Each structure stands twice: as C-alpha cells, then as structure tokens.
Amino acid sequence: MAQHTVTPERTHQTASPWVSTAQLLAGGVVAGPLFLVVWALQAFTREGFDPSRHPLSLLSLGDLGWVQIANFVVTGTLFFACAVGMRRVLQPGRGGTWGPRLIGASGIGLIMAGVFVTDAGAGFPTGAPAGAPEVSWHGALHEVGYVVVMLSWTAAAFVLRRRFAARDERGLSRLCVTAVAAVLVVSAWPHLDSLRHPHRDRDGPSVRPCGGPGSTSEASLQMTDHRPRPKEHLMASRLNPYISFADNARQAMEFYQGVFGGTLTVNTFGELGAPDAPEPDKIMHSLLETDSGFTLMGADTPPGAEHHPGDNISVSLSGDDADELRGYWAKLSDGGTVSVPLEKQVWGDEFGLCVDQFGIGWMVNIAQPQA
C-alpha cells in the first residue's frame, strides 16, 4: 500500500515540470514568427518608413516606437524562456549546456536592443537627419545587443548541429547549417555607412543591418537589388557644387580628398566615350563623397573651351528620377540660356547645361537605369 501511494506522487512531480517545459519551448517556436509579423505590420503602415532601406530598429523611435520596443523585449523574453525549457530537455547530453546558454544570450541581446533604443537617421522618423547621426551611448548599447544576438545565434546553431549529427538526425543538422547561412546573409547587410550615404549612386546599396530574431525561425530578408526601380524607389535627386578647372582637376580633387576625406571617383575623356579627344587623359568628371555627407564634383575644361577663374563653379543636379529632373530643367532654363540641351550623351545619361535668368550655371544629369 505504501508503494502504491508513492507512485502517484512521483508521477505528479514529473508531469508538472514537463507541462511547464512544453510551454517554455512553445515560446521559442512562437517568438520568431511573432517578431516578423509585428515588424511587417509596422514597416508597411508607419508613415515615412521604407523597409527597403530603413533598419527595423528605427521603428523603436517616434510616437509609436513603443510597439517595436515591446516587440524586442517580448521576443527576447520568449527566447530566454525557451532556453530554460531547452536546458531541461537537452541535459544531460551533448549541447545540453551551451545550446540553451547561447539561445538565452540571444534573448538577452534582443531585450538590450529594446531597452536601449537606436539613434534616429536616414530621415526616419520625420525630421531626423538624412544620414547617420553621432552614435549616443544608448545607440552604442543597442548595437551591442545586435552583435550579441548574431554571434550567440550562430554559435548555438553550430552547437546544436553537433548534437543532431551525433544522433544521426540529418534533417535537423542541415537546418542548423541553413540557419547559420541565413544569419551570415543578415549580418552582411550594409551597416551605418549606408546611412551616411542614403542616396549613393545608382549602383549603391541603401540599407543597413537590422536585428536577427526572425532567423530563429527563418531569416528576414529586406535587401535591395540593382534592377531598374519603380518610381517610389528612385534615388533622390542630389544638389551640389560643380567646379571647372583649367587642366588640374585631378590634383585639385585629390587635394580636397585630403582635406575632407571620403571616396574619390575619377573618369577621363577617353574613358567616357571620347578616346580620340585631343587630351583623352584630362578629367571629364570626378566625384568626391565624404563620410560627413559632403558631395563635390569637378572636371577639367573641355579642349577648345575657355577657362575663366572666378566664374568656374556651377550647381549640379543629378539623380535618376527623370520626371522630377526634367521639371527642374524646364523651370531653370526658362528665361535663361541653354548651352547644352538636355539630351542623351556619349556616356549614356541625359545631360544638359544652362544659365538661369540670374546668371547662375546649372548642370542637370539624369542617370539611366541599368539593363
């Protein structure tokens, strides 16, 4: 009789934790899809947010920022709970210690990303700077949380793969490898540099990495490609000074690069379609873009044209929104003088030169979509 009364008691003690463990593990199953659904609802409804170039962390800002903050914290809490459940199930055994610890670290990283919000940039929320701001202490801790998530998730996938491989569970083992590949794709997204240059030339990327909690279920991908873009994804038009030099554009632009830093791109007359020009090595176009968001363009005076010091700076308008730029051209040239009609040139873009009615020179360049 004594033995009979003890047996139900043991059954009750083992059954209760098991129910709790199942609930903890269910939190990990739900966490990833929940995070992605909440992100998607915000990404396509928040005014001014562009999921093709804005990192999801920016959703933590503004009047509705509390939604994404809660999304980070709740998802992180679910992952941490899942780690507790995994520890109960996997121990003792291979991966039973470090697997749960690393999943728990992912949860802690997500909670950090929610508690310490990122800094405003890329024009979001409305009124934010167009580029990347100075990183604050809470913005730096937000990025630390992101790094913790990515590293711990990648390590956890390798730890669990070893366990599954030892048990000859090939499907789960392959899934771990796939998850690592997904994390690498997410971590390879452009970072803060893309915020410093939110409107690069037409070949440049325009997003930075965002958090990776969705990779626990599947990776969330939001990368742009280089195909011709619809109207809503055209590069914003850019306005900047354009300097005409006598024959020393290369030396001058290299000098300005030394002053401001940044990346200098130089093209000669020979490279841009005029190899038989009298001086093919002279600079037909150069572009300096700096980390501070400055843009400066310059060129040598074309052969046969006169160079007039003091009257050698024009204003450049460039981009690939043809309708917008043609509209600017029509208004600027109205009542002024057109020296080069706006039409397709040897380098493939539409280009025109005019002097407006106030004597200011304008250069308009409309980039053509790549095939």
Residue 371 lies in a domain: no
Residue 225 lies in a domain: no
Say yes or no: 209 and 273 in one domain.
Answer: no
At 289 the pLDDT is: 87
Nearest 10 degrees: CA dihedral of 156, 161, 162, 168? 160
Query: Where among 193, 216, 239 does a domain terminate?
Result: 216
Token pair for 199: 């409107």
Mean of all residue pLDDT scores within the chain: 75
Average pLDDT for residues 200-218, to the nearest whole number? Answer: 37
Say yes or no: 21 and 149 in one domain.
Answer: yes
Strand order in the sheet with 337-344: 263-268, 283-289, 295-300, 238-245, 313-319, 361-366, 350-355, 337-344
pTM of the shown model:
0.50
Confidence of residue 17 (pLDDT cuts 50, 70, 90): low
Greater model confidence, 323 or 360: 323
pLDDT at 253 over 60: yes
Among 207-216, 243-252, 288-297, 329-338, whose mean pLDDT is lowest?
207-216
Decide: 370 and 226 in contact? Cβ < 8 Å.
Answer: yes
Say yes or no: 91 and 173 in one domain.
Answer: yes
Residue 224 lies in a domain: no
Q: What is the pLDDT of residues 301-350, one digit of tens each?
A: 877 677 666 667 888 888 888 888 898 898 888 888 999 999 988 878 89
Percent above pLDDT 90 for the chain: 14
Q: Quick check: helix, strand or coil at residue 286?
A: strand
Query: Where among 186, 216, 246 does a domain terminate?
Result: 216
Q: What is the pLDDT of residues 75-103, one digit of tens each?
A: 999 999 988 888 888 877 777 788 888 88
Give whole-number Cα distances, 296 to 261, 310, 313, 342, in Å.
12, 17, 11, 22
Q: Quick check: helix, strand or coil at residue 366?
A: strand
Percent above pLDDT 70 for the chain: 74
Could you list the residue range(s) of the whole structural domain that residue 299 is in? 231-366
At 210 the pLDDT is: 42
Q: What is the pLDDT of residues 22-45, one digit of tens each?
A: 888 888 889 888 998 998 899 889
pLDDT at 228 over 70: no
At 219 the pLDDT is: 25
Say yes or no: 38 and 160 in one domain.
Answer: yes
Residue 128 lies in a domain: yes
Decide: 131 and 122 in contact? Cβ < 8 Å.
Answer: yes
Say yes or no: 23 and 168 in one domain.
Answer: yes
- Sign for the CA dihedral angle at 266, 271, 275, 277 comes to negative
Residue 28 lies in a domain: yes
Question: Domain tally for the chain?
Answer: 2
Query: Where among 216, 245, 280 does a domain terminate?
Result: 216
At 75 the pLDDT is: 92
Say yes or no: 162 and 238 in one domain.
Answer: no
